[in-house]
Each structure stands twice: as structure tokens, then as C-alpha cells.
Amino acid sequence: MQSSDQLHIHTPEQIALELPLAGIGSRFLGLAIDTLLQIVLYLLGILAFAWIGIAGLARYIEWLPPSWLTAAIILFVFCVYWGYFAIFEILWKGQTPGKRLAKIRVIKESGRPINAYEAVARNLMRAIDVLPTMYGAGIICMMLNSQNRRIGDFVAGTVVVHDQRTEEVRPDWNTAAEAAAVNPQLALLTADDLVLIETYLQRRFQLERTVRDSAAFQIGIRVTNKTGLQRDPSQSMDDFLEAVARQIRDTARFR
């Protein structure tokens, strides 16, 4: 799976997927944007607390202990500093506003989306990555491994890759394009299914015949199990998968 600039993932269907790893430059571009947004949130928080005092709203919560304002400020700063990255990565499946603008994404080593555990774990480790200053430990760690992973990535089992849209994966078509009615059952297939099908179609001629036939059969079974669609006896498995991919593309769901 190791590569200086690519993450290689072998799926159960024996299809090799390659994802471009994000370098230090693109990762720090995303971090810089996120840091600026955090500063904006801090400023908005300061203005909000100041407005509470100026508007005299504090008298409505006089029942709170005198130290409530200090505690509220500490809690706010804690949530912005520690919660910003984790919350966005949970809700946006591995992205923060900065990562989205830099077109990068956090994923598991297996290529699957991260869950709440990975998002929280990798971001708690920022306390170590940031040492002694300006993410010094994180930068050194990234320079010492081929996948540009910081300490938090090793703890959570994650990597950061360039975010590829499904339109960037285009297969080598074996059949001519034909107009066909889109089967509504294909809506049960996800963007990951489309990437898997088109990656196979793109790489099939590079595979050994036995591996190619086995991979096509496994993907065909996956499509059938999810949608109930059956291959026409006159169709080869490749033609069936091409027809499925074309029809999904025609819906423009993943453009």
C-alpha cells in the first residue's frame, strides 16, 4: 500500500484503486484556511460576550456564580480549538472548510470514510503534533514516512488524499454508446459502486485473464445483489457493467 505519492488499495474484488496522497503543502494550505476561520470564530465569540455585557443581559443570569463568564469563555475556546476539526470531519466525511477548499480529504487506510472515532482521535493528537511550535512534531513525522502522515494519522489509522470526484475516473469503453432507458433500480448503487465499476473498466485490459474474469464476476454479483438486475444471456459481463455505468452516468447523479 505504500507509495511516495499514491495510496494503493486492493478491494475484495481484486481491483487496485490508486488515490493521490496529499503533500505537506496542500495539507498546510487547508490548515491555514481553517486557522483563519477559527480566528474569525474567536473574534465573533469575543463580540458576543462583549455584547452580552453592553446590552445588560448579564442581569438575567445573576443566579449563576460570578465566575460563569470565565468558565463560558474557556469552554468556548476549547470547543473552537478542539471541536472545529473533529466536528467538521465527522459531518463532512473527512473534510473541514479548509480541506474542502484545498481539495483534500481524510480517509481510512482502507480507503473507506472515517467515522467519529477516527475524527476525534486524530484531532486530539494535535496537542502533540503542534509541539514545540508551528506543528514541528507533525512536520517531522510527515517527512519521515512515505504517506505524509502526522502522529494523529498513525494513531487513528488515517491518511489524507486529494479529493477525486467520480468524473475523474473514466473507463475505456468496449461498446459504442447507445441510448437506453435508465433503470430506477440503479439508484440503489452509490458513488463508490460507480468508482469501482469504472476503475475495473479502465484497468481490465491490464489484468490477467483469470483475474479479470473473476473481478468482473464479483462486481457483477455486487450490482445484482444491490439492484436485482440480471445480465442478459447475450451480454458479456463487461458489456453488462458498461451498460450499468453508462446508465448511472446518464442520471447525472455523480457528475
8: which residues sit within 8 A by CB, 6+ positions away?
Answer: 1, 2, 16, 17, 18
Contact yes or no for 17/166 (Cβ under 8 A): no
Q: Which residue matches cell numbers 483469470? A: 210
Contact yes or no for 117/66 (Cβ under 8 A): no
Measured between alpha carbons, how far is 183 from 229 in angstroms, rounded to an integer?
A: 9
Measured between alpha carbons, how far is 248 from 251 in angstroms, rounded to an integer?
A: 5
Helix (H, G, I), strand (E, B) or coil at 9: strand
State the maximum Cα–Cα separation within the chain, in Å, rounded to a whole number.
80
Q: Which residue matches cell numbers 455585557? A: 53
pTM (predicted TM-score): 0.66
All residue ranges of the chain with pLDDT < 50 are 1-3, 166-167, 176-177, 179-180, 255
pLDDT, tens only, 208-244: 888 888 889 999 999 999 999 888 888 889 989 988 9
Question: 55: how many CB neighbours lie within 10 A of its CB?
Answer: 9
- What's the whole-number average pLDDT of the chain? 83
36: which residues sit within 8 A by CB, 6+ positions away?
Answer: none
Q: Grid coordinates representing 124? A: 486530539
Closest CA to 185 of 233, 104, 247: 247
pLDDT for res 3? 41
β-sheet bridge partners, residue 19: 7
Residue 3 per-residue DSSP state: -
DSSP H helical segments within 79-205, as ranges?
Answer: 84-91, 97-102, 116-124, 126-129, 136-143, 151-156, 191-203
Torsion sign across C-alpha atoms 125, 1, 164, 113: negative
pLDDT for res 178? 52
Contact yes or no for 164/106 (Cβ under 8 A): no
Q: Is cis: bond before 132, omega within 30 of 0? A: yes
pLDDT for res 57? 60
pLDDT for res 113? 86
Domain boundaries, given as residue ranges, for the chain:
6-162, 167-250
Helix (H, G, I), strand (E, B) or coil at 249: helix
pLDDT for res 54? 63
pLDDT for res 2? 41
The secondary element (H helix, E strand) that includes residue 104 is strand 104-108
CA distances from 209 to 14, 61, 205, 220, 229 (A): 13, 74, 9, 16, 25
